[in-house]
Amino acid sequence: MNEDGACLFRALADQIYGDQELHYMVRSSCMDYIVKNKDFFAAYVTEDFDKYVARKRIWNVHGNHLEIQALSEMYNRTIEVYCYEIEPINIFNGSRMSSDEPIRLSYHRMCHYNSISNPNNPSVGVGLGLPSYHTTDLNRRRMVDAVRASEELLIEQTMLEDKIKATDWEATNEAIEEEVARESYIQYFRDAERRLKPQGAIAGSSSTITSAVCLSPRASRRGSMSPKGPMSPKGSCSPKGAFILFGLVFKLFIIGYNYFQPLRDQVHAL
């Protein structure tokens, strides 16, 4: 709590409202309660009662035992004051016995109060007279939060696994489609090659005839072969030339086949 003279009321505001900045509200309610019960509290005041109340209403004036007793009665909660010991040095009880969690304060250096909260049994709001108000069971809340976090984690893991499976399924489908397309492509060329084999045989015969025509030996007038006969380089086509000629003819045939193939497919489709 801030050390500004309002530490007692700050500690009570933290215990009652959960916010020490509401100390002015606690102080005002406390002094109003003392005024209403003047007959009881005046016996414990050693100065003029009205002056005492007026002085205690100032926001930075320290509170003492009289205000603690008034606050205990106001909120009907026991107030325990601790000072460097595990046992309280002072206990203030309300007008009626209550089973609610007590308000615990620590007292330091004979001039400063702090708030002591029990994390396993929160008591904010107890003593305000709220109807049907119950303090939050921290253990139950922790269990609910843990269950919710576990469910959210399970949902996230399930979504991630589904995404991974979907990604694997898509990759498998793509691989299958690529394999089918590859097999279809290979099969298409196999069929094309099978259809071109008879055409290739005809082209081979034509090239053979052409090669035979190229062999033009020079015969003598007597019907005998000239010294520069068929074996002469000038009188025959070389095997290399015949092979090149056959390749050209075959390429021309393939080009023509590829050119007319789409037209034939369209005709078949019609």
The reply to whether 7 belongs to the active site is yes
| Under 8 Å between Cβ of 35 and 52 | no
Distance of CA 167 to the CA centre of its chain: 18
How far apart are alpha carbons 207 and 199 in whole angstroms? Answer: 13
The reply to whether 4 belongs to the active site is yes
How far apart are alpha carbons 32 and 70 in whole angstroms? Answer: 10
Q: Cα 122–123–128 angle (5° rounding)?
A: 155
Which residues, at least 6 apart from 15, have a Cβ–Cβ distance to it below 8 Å? 103, 104, 115, 117, 123, 124
Which residues are 92's β-sheet partners? Answer: 79
Catalytic hit among 4, 19, 50, 191: 4
97 exposed, middle or buried (CB, 10 Å; 0-12, 13-18, 19+)? Answer: exposed
Catalytic hit among 83, 112, 214, 237: 112
How far apart are alpha carbons 169 and 162 in whole angstroms? Answer: 10
Q: Which two tokens stand for residue 236?
A: 């025959």
Catalytic hit among 7, 14, 23, 30: 7
| Under 8 Å between Cβ of 12 and 71 | yes
The reply to whether 145 belongs to the active site is no
The SS3 of residue 108 is: strand
Q: What amino acid positions are annotated as catalytic residues? A: 4, 7, 112
